[in-house]
Structure 1
Amino acid sequence: MSQEGDYGKWTISSSDESEDEKPKPNHPSTSLPPSAGHQAAYEPRYTCSQARKAAHRRKISPVKCSNADAASEVSPPKRQKSSSQEELGWCLSSSDDELPPETQQKVAEKVAVKEEKGIASPKDGAAPTAGNHGPPARHALTEDKEEYETSGEGQDIWDMLDRGNPFQFYLTRVSGIKPKYNSGALHIKDILSPLFGTLVSSAQFNYCFDVDWLMRQYPPEFRKKPVLLVHGEKREAKAHLHAEAKPYGNVSLCQAKLDIAFGTHHTKMMLLLYEEGLRVVIHTANLIREDWHQKTQGIWLSPLYPRMAHGAHTSGESPTRFKADLISYLTAYNAPPLKEWIDVVQDHDLSETNVYLVGSTPGRFQGSQKDNWGHFRLRKLLKEHTSSTPGAEAWPIIGQFSSIGSMGADASKWLCSEFTETLATLGKESRAPGKGGAPLHLIYPSVENVRTSLEGYPAGGSLPYSIQTAEKQSWLHSYFHKWSAETSGRSNAMPHIKTYMRPSADFGRIAWFLVTSANLSKAAWGALEKNGAQLMIRSYELGVLFVPSVFGLDSFRVKQRFFSGSQEPAASFPVPFDLPPELYGSKDRPWIWNIPYTRAPDTHGNMWVPS
């Protein structure tokens, strides 16, 4: 259906899916009725958001931006322009350069015809030809081997981990960029490698699982070891996940309780029990191939925690109380399958941990319990473990994320009131930022960022910001800054990482840094109710907070090059994007997944028509 609004003229997709945090459909594609078989063949095997489904369809059946298409479907601009956002299908102005609704409809109809032709199955089991696209084959082991590279020429992964990195903060390896930008990066196969330890069992906490793919990431000698999948699926989606796991006798499942509407299990964590000890991995990637292939993701690796000797007179606690907080987080699930893992954590020495745990769990919290979870947990830690310096009240705040929830009618409803008050906290004397203090920089990919990415427009499937939400909060977009990551060589690898930080006014130092699963949403961080007496959180989230005082510092220096090696001080923090962030230009627009972009092709020569 064609509509017109502040964003110009556009054709809306059939879904109102707004963000990763919103519940996934109860039925995965493979459980669709027979009449929907053609559609099912073009959707992922795992349950996921409508945005990711659209990206999957476009990868399999791309809409080419050929000269013929441009001549018949795209009205030429009245003036010569570069490939700006204004040319890509929507913009804030009411420009008559945009595609009229009837043209948008023609594009969508032509796509439908192309897809219908492409879905026809080869007769007698013949292999698909160039003109007869069958459903995608499941990823073969050879494909996994091709996309997985070692950590560098002759470089041992263990040597990389022991290189004097005090933060143990890493990015994921990206296929298709210069090797030097992968020299300090990790693939999931690295994390599960025998070099990290002799695996006994593991627990995988996540939002989205491709079970077959995940099991192939374990080395052959560990593929029969017990694996617990902690998920938030319900009803048909839960049944589908159980069916996917059934062929693997060593895989068991644990459902996270989600009693508040629109909540999700969004935490991304691995618990890896070895013969040699325990390791905790907190990261930002779903357990699907796409998230480990050409996206920017963040990983925190714990030290290898040794098992405590029987009868030891120590708690194995760290100065950051990480052990107690991790046990509290696991206990909040109130799930019998996690009791074993709580005991495992209890039996190990976590005293070497140098980060704080920042988690969210669903519920309504009052009194002192408000400080246990969500952004009030972050506020408490910043108040107790950071300190203000002269002029620091004007230091900017940076939030970087891949999904956006409903913020309300204006900035005062949540973002620039309770949430900004948390992010602006520095020490016990912190006060709510006044007018003109603590500038807020929000980093979210523009349409041009997505168009020119390694994946092209389908990269926008992991950036599920909808037109329905965007139109209700156009005020938010004045805070937006482009995704730019030359320092880590990742500008063209779209971010699924989520980070929050407080840099100095000159962007040379950092007061604190957080990497987390939590996007910019009230569901993830919590929102006050009952005149501020109660904090309501819908989702499970998890991250780690880096504070300079733990490292004996007043602030972290910003590492100028993420993969620069030992030329910079060891305590320089590797921020994964460029500082200072660059504000959107007059022609930049935030990526919105469920409207078409047909004015300029992406890096693969394709257009974006989501429906």
Structure 2
Amino acid sequence: MSQDSLHGKWTVSSSDDDDDGENLPPSGTTTSNSSQPAASIHDLPRSATPPSTKLEPVTVEVKPEPVASSVPLLFIGSEARQMAAANQLNPVKYETSPSLAGKHKQEVADGSGWALSDSDDDDKVDVKGKGAAPKRKPPSPKAKKAKVENERPPSPHGRLYYIDEPEDFFETSVPCLNDIYRFYLNKVTGLDRKYNCGALHIRDILSPLFGTLKESVQFNYCFDLAWMVEQYPPEFRNRPVLIVHGDKREAKARLVKQAQPFPHIKFCQAKLDIAFGTHHTKMMLLWYEEGFRVIILTSNLIRADWYQKTQGLWMSPLFPRLPEGSSASAGESPTFFKRDLLEYLAAYRAPELEECIQRIKEHDLSEARVYLVGSTPGRYVGSDMERWGHLRLRKLLCDHTEAIPGDETWPVIGQFSSIGSMGLDKTKWLAGEFQRTMTTLGKSSVRSDPPMHLLYPSVEDVRTSLEGYPAGGSLPYSIQTAQKQLWLHSYFHRWKADATGRSHAMPHIKTFMRVSPDFTQLAWFLITSANLSKAAWGALEKNNTQVMVRSYELGVLYVPSAFSMKTFPVQKNPFPVSSSTSSGFPVPFDLPPTPYSTKDQPWIWNIPYNQAPDTHGNVWIPS
């Protein structure tokens, strides 16, 4: 396929991205932008033809907003997420979208078919200057007057954006979905009820049905603390909460300001000593009167991530306290989950986590059947190279899986919501080291070269999603990165999840797996916070004698041997939930994956899409 047919003609209208998979500002550098990474939104190709009929805008009911937050939520997240918030607060309707026809464009010299606006010459972008994308219509005076003092500041998606959940949406029940694997999807507003059966909302996770909560620790990247507090049931709402974050400077000040109304919230700042690193781990440590539980998930602690996105989580069993006088090695699982969790927490070198570490030692984690796969910032040599990142995953796959006859035909499927810079060709990182990790099965020194399918939403997937173009705010792939790695796009496949009812709930979940050629068996499955980036997974340096990891990430690996199986059977229709005894693994998207057609483009957040309306009748114009 030609590059033109793959990508259309894109227009640059934003600043250059960094090396981080979430396109976040560097935590540890002197950049003035200290807000954290998030998502972005995009548009149809400029060569696309507008549809003959306009999509009907969604009719919504205004949902009462929770307790007031003292910090404007437009500051939450990456530039892409902030752009999504701005567009939802002040949307541009399709029929009033400014025309870009008269703008002068210069063709990119590499023949990619993209058109750069004048303001983007030499990578210098002045969003207010000549050649910038059209500005949205300013809000009317009436809209400003509508604000009253006791109202909460606008939600990240706009005051009128969220629709009311049905009355039974927050009905909490102990889930029966996949108790074997303890892998759950989130509830999604706007789906048929059967597709939320057995799924979990954050209110379910924190409900009394899972234990009498005494205190909790929340590790995450983005926080809306007022919203978070509202998700705890009233009887637990003032119990101590420790927030583990990576914010610095202005972003840290905003986070601390958010907590002013909540004296039960304390903070632990993760050390980020390498440029472009982020604290991207998403984990809950929940301490109950009855024991202790770990939740490892993909959602930020903001309402948008629990609203109309596909997310996933692993929920541990309830870990009981060990008897008094138990040995230091007591309570370990066959997967060494306890040891690895303690090692991960110790890597923060944070006094605020010492009490957590001691408490975990006092609990029995022997029921855990998954392996922990974490990343922590640093440069590692020798045996330490296998402690973190993709080399940690490679070590686990080498030690705990077995080679399968004909495994060269078993494809790897990676699915993620953000993409970092990987070099001028696939040998630089993706095939050079990451694919070698993903294709490891057992201790065989012979490495097969199976297909690799990368699932990432297309422009059309985003346009027709429940959220419309703003869903792309959580998909921060920038034009600057995309231009440098056209080779990557031949790997791309569409986001399709009809079996789970979630094709129109854009993914923020991140999963990687090895599947049989007929897509009925899994050799292994990983759910993680890590996107497709070197910052998240680590990259080899110094002639492969050192690995450098920039970010904190965390996930859990399922291998069949830990479940007394040879492979995991794929459960192709996990909803509605019919039994807790099914041995099938609930893959959250359709198999086989669907390759991009010649007309499909990967979603790029920082270019305009004004050729066709989204499901809310709006277009996407980044400023």
Same fold (TM over 0.5): yes
Residue 356 (str. 1) matches residue 380 (str. 2): no
Instruction: Give the 3 Å change call, closer, same or farther, for CA 5–138 of structure 1 in structure 2.
Output: closer
Distance in 1 (alpha carbons) for counterparts of 2:116 and 2:302: 35
Q: State TM-score, norm by structure 2.
A: 0.84
Instruction: Give the 3 Å change call, closer, same or farther, for CA 585–110 of structure 1 in structure 2.
Output: closer
> Is the 8 Å Cα contact of residues 26 and 237 (structure 1) preserved in structure 2?
no
Instruction: Give the 3 Å change call, closer, same or farther, for CA 219–74 of structure 1 in structure 2.
Output: farther
Instruction: Give the 3 Å change call, closer, same or farther, for CA 218–46 of structure 1 in structure 2.
Output: farther
**In the TM superposition, what are the counterparts of 1:35-46 in structure 2 within 5 Å?**
44-46=73-75
| Residue in structure 2 matching 1:251, options 265, 271, 292 | 265
> Is the 8 Å Cα contact of residues 379 and 548 (structure 2) preserved in structure 1?
yes
| Residue in structure 1 matching 2:76, options 39, 47, 70 | 47
Instruction: Give the 3 Å change call, closer, same or farther, for CA 483–123 of structure 1 in structure 2.
Output: closer
Distance in 1 (alpha carbons) for counterparts of 2:403 and 2:160: 53
Residue number in structure 2 paired with 1:487:
499
Distance in 2 (alpha carbons) for counterparts of 1:567 and 1:224: 36
Instruction: Give the 3 Å change call, closer, same or farther, for CA 288–69 of structure 1 in structure 2.
Output: closer
Residue 429 (str. 1) matches residue 437 (str. 2): no
Q: 1:487 Cα deviation (Å)?
A: 1.3
**In the TM superposition, what are the counterparts of 1:568-607 in structure 2 within 5 Å?**
570-607=582-619
> What amino acid is aligned across from residue 115 of structure 1 in structure 2?
P
**In the TM superposition, what are the counterparts of 1:226-241 in structure 2 within 5 Å?**
226-241=240-255
Residue 190 (str. 1) matches residue 213 (str. 2): no
Q: 1:571 Cα deviation (Å)?
A: 1.5
Residue 396 (str. 1) matches residue 411 (str. 2): yes
Q: 1:317 Cα deviation (Å)?
A: 0.4
> What amino acid is aligned across from residue 267 of structure 1 in structure 2?
T
Distance in 2 (alpha carbons) for counterparts of 1:123 and 1:156: 35
> Is the 8 Å Cα contact of residues 221 and 245 (structure 2) preserved in structure 1?
yes
> Is the 8 Å Cα contact of residues 500 and 575 (structure 2) preserved in structure 1?
yes
Q: 1:144 Cα deviation (Å)?
A: 9.4
> What amino acid is aligned across from residue 276 of structure 1 in structure 2?
E
Residue 411 (str. 1) matches residue 429 (str. 2): no
Instruction: Give the 3 Å change call, closer, same or farther, for CA 106–149 of structure 1 in structure 2.
Output: farther
> Is the 8 Å Cα contact of residues 383 and 430 (structure 1) preserved in structure 2?
no
Distance in 2 (alpha carbons) for counterparts of 1:292 and 1:186: 10
Distance in 2 (alpha carbons) for counterparts of 1:175 and 1:187: 10
More helix by share: 1
Residue 111 (str. 1) matches residue 135 (str. 2): yes
Residue number in structure 1 paired with 2:228:
214
> What amino acid is aligned across from residue 85 of structure 2 in structure 1?
H
Residue number in structure 2 paired with 1:202:
216
Distance in 1 (alpha carbons) for counterparts of 2:305 and 2:517: 33
Residue number in structure 1 paired with 2:94:
65
Residue number in structure 1 paired with 2:482:
470
Q: State TM-score, norm by structure 1.
A: 0.86
> What amino acid is aligned across from residue 531 of structure 1 in structure 2?
N
Residue number in structure 1 paired with 2:145:
122
Deviations 1:159-179 (A, max 9, x none): x24x66200100010000100
Residue number in structure 2 paired with 1:507:
519
Instruction: Give the 3 Å change call, closer, same or farther, for CA 124–429 of structure 1 in structure 2.
Output: closer
The alignment yields a C-alpha RMSD, in angstroms, of 3.3
Q: 1:431 Cα deviation (Å)?
A: 2.9
Instruction: Give the 3 Å change call, closer, same or farther, for CA 124–220 of structure 1 in structure 2.
Output: closer
Distance in 1 (alpha carbons) for counterparts of 2:573 and 2:242: 37
Deviations 1:24-80 (A, max 9, x none): 775679xxxxxxxxxxx99735431110011001111111011x648x6669xxxxx
> Is the 8 Å Cα contact of residues 71 and 257 (structure 2) preserved in structure 1?
no
Distance in 2 (alpha carbons) for counterparts of 1:116 and 1:273: 46
**In the TM superposition, what are the counterparts of 1:64-143 in structure 2 within 5 Å?**
64-66=93-95, 69=97, 94=113, 111-112=135-136, 114-115=137-138, 117=140, 121-122=144-145, 136=154
**Secondary structure in 2 matching 1:253:** strand
**Secondary structure in 2 matching 1:305:** coil
**Secondary structure in 2 matching 1:572:** coil
Residue number in structure 2 paired with 1:529:
541
> What amino acid is aligned across from residue 621 of structure 2 in structure 1?
V
Deviations 1:354-386 (A, max 9, x none): 100000000011111111100010000000110
> Is the 8 Å Cα contact of residues 239 and 264 (structure 2) preserved in structure 1?
yes
Residue number in structure 2 paired with 1:13:
13
Residue number in structure 2 paired with 1:78:
none
Residue 445 (str. 1) matches residue 457 (str. 2): yes
**Secondary structure in 2 matching 1:501:** strand
Between Structure 1 and Structure 2, how many residues are aligned?
A: 564
> Is the 8 Å Cα contact of residues 460 and 593 (structure 1) preserved in structure 2?
yes
> What amino acid is aligned across from residue 183 of structure 2 in structure 1?
F
| Residue in structure 2 matching 1:56, options 74, 85, 104 | 85
Residue number in structure 2 paired with 1:84:
none
Residue number in structure 2 paired with 1:157:
173
Residue number in structure 1 paired with 2:24:
22
Deviations 1:399-435 (A, max 9, x none): 10000000101000000111000000000114333xx
Instruction: Give the 3 Å change call, closer, same or farther, for CA 413–518 of structure 1 in structure 2.
Output: same
Distance in 2 (alpha carbons) for counterparts of 1:296 and 1:123: 33
> Is the 8 Å Cα contact of residues 297 and 528 (structure 2) preserved in structure 1?
yes
> What amino acid is aligned across from residue 599 of structure 1 in structure 2?
Q
**Secondary structure in 2 matching 1:539:** coil
> Is the 8 Å Cα contact of residues 43 and 57 (structure 1) preserved in structure 2?
no
| Residue in structure 1 matching 2:285, options 271, 288, 311 | 271
**Secondary structure in 1 matching 2:138:** helix
> Is the 8 Å Cα contact of residues 74 and 99 (structure 1) preserved in structure 2?
no
> What amino acid is aligned across from residue 175 of structure 1 in structure 2?
T
Q: 1:242 Cα deviation (Å)?
A: 1.1
| Residue in structure 1 matching 2:472, options 444, 457, 460 | 460
Distance in 1 (alpha carbons) for counterparts of 2:195 and 2:567: 26
> Is the 8 Å Cα contact of residues 256 and 265 (structure 1) preserved in structure 2?
yes
> Is the 8 Å Cα contact of residues 411 and 452 (structure 2) preserved in structure 1?
yes
Instruction: Give the 3 Å change call, closer, same or farther, for CA 430–284 of structure 1 in structure 2.
Output: farther
Instruction: Give the 3 Å change call, closer, same or farther, for CA 394–118 of structure 1 in structure 2.
Output: farther
> What amino acid is aligned across from residue 355 of structure 1 in structure 2?
V
> What amino acid is aligned across from residue 481 of structure 1 in structure 2?
H
Distance in 2 (alpha carbons) for counterparts of 1:404 and 1:222: 38
Instruction: Give the 3 Å change call, closer, same or farther, for CA 544–100 of structure 1 in structure 2.
Output: closer
Instruction: Give the 3 Å change call, closer, same or farther, for CA 125–508 of structure 1 in structure 2.
Output: closer
Distance in 2 (alpha carbons) for counterparts of 1:55 and 1:181: 26
Single out whichever of 386-395 and 351-360 deviates more from structure 2. Answer: 386-395
**Secondary structure in 1 matching 2:285:** strand
> What amino acid is aligned across from residue 582 of structure 1 in structure 2?
T
Distance in 2 (alpha carbons) for counterparts of 1:490 and 1:561: 12
> What amino acid is aligned across from residue 249 of structure 2 in structure 1?
R
Deviations 1:535-568 (A, max 9, x none): 1000000000000011111000100112243479
> What amino acid is aligned across from residue 16 of structure 2 in structure 1?
D
| Residue in structure 1 matching 2:341, options 315, 319, 326 | 326
**Secondary structure in 1 matching 2:275:** coil
Instruction: Give the 3 Å change call, closer, same or farther, for CA 379–124 of structure 1 in structure 2.
Output: closer
Tell me the percent identity. Answer: 58
> What amino acid is aligned across from residue 532 of structure 2 in structure 1?
L
> Is the 8 Å Cα contact of residues 400 and 444 (structure 1) preserved in structure 2?
yes
What runs of 5+ residues in structure 2 fail to find an aligned partner? 36-69, 103-110, 120-126
Distance in 1 (alpha carbons) for counterparts of 2:380 and 2:538: 10
Deviations 1:213-261 (A, max 9, x none): 1111111111111100000011111111111112211100000000011
Q: 1:9 Cα deviation (Å)?
A: 5.0
**Secondary structure in 1 matching 2:417:** coil
